[in-house]
Amino acid sequence: MSEIVVTDDAGLRTIRINRPEKKNALTGAMYDAMGAALQDATLTPAVRAVLITGGDACFTSGNDVGDFKSRGGQPAEVPSPARGFLAALRECPKPVVAAVAGYAVGIGTTLLLHCDFVYAAENAVFRMPFVDLGLCPEGGSSLLIPQRGGQLLANELLMMAEAFTPATALRAGIVNAVVPNGELLATAEAVARKLAAKPPGAMATTKRLLRQAGEAQLSAHMTEEFARFGALLRGPEAAEAVAAFQEKRKPDFTRFLAAE
């Protein structure tokens, strides 16, 4: 069974995360597959819009813990599969719609910041747990969340690192709308098909114009985020967080000194 299912229908490419037994946790291979599907969509004229979904039960619980731990030992210069996927998502000139049900954790939330339309089911649960994992925000979230939702809400979501509701995600500028659980996929697909029916040249130009003013700042900010994320991932605080998760205990960060 493929963990990333890609289907094309009448101009709409659907990328479905399909690893329900692991709550759609993402591995490097899955990031690569999604990135390749987006790059191919960019190069395929028949594809006019993209829909990303995890189905009606779970979007994604974030990084697969085993895969995440193995990357902690990689040299800093090794490219991150997640970073490659986010680059493909940001660079896609076609409109991208996301449908979010159930858990959207870590990159499951931050990737939504780079989609053009995002719809959440009432049962969606968002969380950006980076600090609790001994890490820092990624995916441009430490820039985009304050811009969209304000500094105080960004502090709450990224520093407290607790789960939040679709209503809060709406207030933070992460989602366009919250819809009943049973209507999520139909709603998101209807929007994607409307976008696919519009003039493709005008659509691509409009998307580029909407994004280009802040692109240089966002690119530089994400580069810094990923550099700091990688350094923290190889550090002792992240090691303690992963060990505590695997040992089913509460992490103990009291022995670590506060940064000056």
Q: What span, in angstroms and rounded, lies between the C-alpha atoms of 117 and 51?
A: 9
User: CATH code at 94?
Assistant: 3.90.226.10
| pLDDT of amino acid 169 | 98
Q: What span, in angstroms and rounded, lies between the C-alpha atoms of 25 and 195?
A: 29
Q: How many CB atoms lie within 10 A of CB 13?
A: 24
**Domain assignment of residue 227, given as a range:** 1-181+199-260
Q: Per residue in 133-143, pLDDT tens? A: 999 999 999 99
- Domain membership flag for residue 192: no
- Domain membership flag for residue 86: yes
- Domain membership flag for residue 59: yes
- Domain membership flag for residue 11: yes
- Domain membership flag for residue 222: yes
Low-confidence ranges of the chain (pLDDT < 70): 68-79, 259-260
- Domain membership flag for residue 233: yes
- If we measure between CA atoms, which residue out of 63, 34, 27 comes closest to residue 50? 34
| pLDDT of amino acid 66 | 76
| pLDDT of amino acid 72 | 53
Count of structural domains, the chain: 1
CB 98 within 8 A of CB 115: yes
